[in-house]
Chains A and B, each alone.
Chain A
Amino acid sequence: MNLLLDKRQEGPPLVVVIDDDAAMRLSCRKILVKTGLRVETFEDGMQGLDAVARLKPDVLVVDLKMPGISGMEVISRVQQMDPSVVIVVITGYATIDTAVEAMKSGAYDFLPKPFSPDELRLITNRALERRRLMVEARRQELERELLKRRFVTFVSHQLQTPLAAIHQYLNVLKHLEGDPAAEARRREWFDRCLARTEEMLSLIRNWLTLSAIEGQCLARQRVRVDLAPIVASVLETCEPLAEAEEISVESDLPEGCLTVGDPDCLRVLAENLITNAVKYNKPGGRVSVSARASGGEVILAVADTGIGIPEQYQRFLFDEFFRVKTPNGSKKPGAGLGLCIVKRIVGELGGYIEVDSQVGVGTTFRVHLPAASGRHEVQAAQEETGAACTTEDIDRG
């Protein structure tokens, strides 16, 4: 399949023509070469098949009625050899039925004899377009596969790294049992083990959240909800982390920031933004969280006085697994899934997110969500769908 991709850089597309009629071969060649294509012609099926195997053409033009191996036979063998070759059959008026048959067995189009140069060009162009789409589709498929493989590799690594560290602390304690120096550090190492366990749990939680969003059933309900108390409760849960990192947190959360959404989703959203602001901050830094309603929107802003994000990386911020490096080149713990989750939630709720960042000064994320209109009725939660999705997600995980 790689050949299929690489070939395109070799120059103009290649058309192979198989026809037992010498005059037909000549005119096909002339017409197609003039349009800038590479053309190779062959007088019978055997030579033609050999050429297809060797040259891997983009398009094959084949006469149905030939002595020796028939056109139909050529089609079926090429289909087996390389289904990405686009096949056009040439046929006399009398054999339209055969042309239909040929298309059923995999030919893309047919040219009834006699045909004009324009007709040949038109159909060849269509076939080339078809080929281009096939190659493109294949490329996208490969990319998706790669991404999926990368996801598995990455998550395994993300889980194995903390596990290896925990394992090693425990192992060192075991092997150095009775060693006073090791005993003296037992407490510290247990704390490190606990921290790494937390890291793994959070990764798994995020991972599950993401897979739930992919199944498009994260926002299970659309209810009228005030952002302020949700954010305030998240701030409370983030307090210990902020204290540990020596970050002061200030908030301005007036009541009445009404939007329509799923309170659980909004909590996850606020949690991710606020923990990031604490994590990617400087010791003694500040996190400011504010919410306000303005112009049909509810805006949640989370600002930090942290390391900032270089401009060239800002567009990767919301990608899976992307993590900002700290100035000394290391990375903060985490899997790089948080902002990815935030972005998807915001999208689901019909909003958008802005980032404003300056290296060394800090970063501000602003989430804009549609405000709940005055007349907006509380909608019933779609509990049945929600419950079904949850079970499925747990099974999948």
Chain B
Amino acid sequence: MPPAQQKILIVDDDADFRQSLAFFLESHGYTVRQAADGRQGLLLARLERPDLIIMDLMMSERTEGLFAIQELRRSADLPQTPIFVVSSLYAKVPDFRVPPEQAWLGHDEFFSKPLDLPRLLEAIRRRLSTEATGETTQA
């Protein structure tokens, strides 16, 4: 699938961060949607069915990103969408204590802020090319 038909959703509460990343990804041929918080992110994820989600872990509420990820993974129509987690505060995803039935954080890759853009791009390409070949049902 050519990148233009591949849609990436960025969920981050910092407008500058979001817009600069969106510009970068768009200039590499992707279609980009943006959301400013977890709630908006969930909404857009359901509406737009992105191929990949880039989610900031720490938005205005400390655990907002985490809950949004759990919610995404629980929703029946989006469980497989790859999620890349970014965070400025942690060098890796923190080990939060969650109830046993949710004792996993369904993200696929972790990136620390500030982002290493070439590395991110490489990871997106890798991920979306396997997605594309692995899933034949995708419209």
Contacts of A151-190 to chain B: CB distance below 8 A: 153, 156-157, 160-169, 171-172, 175-176, 179, 181-182, 185, 189
Task: Please state if A329 and B20 are interface contacts (CB–CB under 8 Å).
Answer: no
Q: How many residues of B contact A (CB 8 A)?
A: 20
Nearest Cβ on chain B to A171's Cβ, whole angstroms: 5
Chain B residues with Cβ below 8 Å from A185 are: 23
Contacts of B102-131 to chain A: CB distance below 8 A: 113-115, 117-118
Task: Please state if B114 and A167 are interface contacts (CB–CB under 8 Å).
Answer: yes
Task: Please state if A165 and B60 are interface contacts (CB–CB under 8 Å).
Answer: no
Contact string, B64-94, partner A, CB cutoff 8 A, digits 1/0? 0000000000000000000000001100000
Task: Please state if B20 and A189 are interface contacts (CB–CB under 8 Å).
Answer: yes
**Is B44 engaged at the interface, CB distance under 8 Å to the other chain?**
no
Chain B facing A: main interface SS: loop
Task: Please state if A176 and B24 are interface contacts (CB–CB under 8 Å).
Answer: yes
A168 to B114, CA, bound (A): 7
Q: A164-B113, A172-B117 are in contact. Are A157 and B16 (CB under 8 A)?
A: no
Chain A residues with Cβ below 8 Å from B21 are: 168, 172
A8 to B80, CA, bound (A): 46
Which residue of chain B is the closest to A329 with respect to CB atoms?
B37
Q: A171-B114, A171-B117 are in contact. Are A160 and B37 (CB under 8 A)?
A: no
**Is A391 engaged at the interface, CB distance under 8 Å to the other chain?**
no
Task: Please state if A192 and B118 are interface contacts (CB–CB under 8 Å).
Answer: no
Contacts of B17-33 to chain A: CB distance below 8 A: 17, 20-21, 23-24, 27
**Is A2 engaged at the interface, CB distance under 8 Å to the other chain?**
no
Task: Please state if B20 and A157 are interface contacts (CB–CB under 8 Å).
Answer: no
Q: Which 5 A-B pairs have the closest CB atoms?
A: A165-B16, A167-B114, A160-B88, A164-B113, A164-B114
B interface residue numbers (CB < 8 A to A): 13-14, 16-17, 20-21, 23-24, 27, 36-37, 58, 60, 88-89, 113-115, 117-118
List 27 A–B pairs whose Cβ atoms lie within 8 Å, in order of A's numbering. Answer: A153-B89, A157-B88, A160-B89, A160-B113, A161-B88, A164-B14, A164-B88, A164-B115, A165-B16, A165-B17, A166-B16, A167-B114, A168-B16, A168-B20, A168-B21, A168-B24, A168-B117, A169-B16, A172-B21, A176-B24, A176-B27, A179-B27, A181-B27, A325-B60, A329-B36, A329-B37, A331-B60
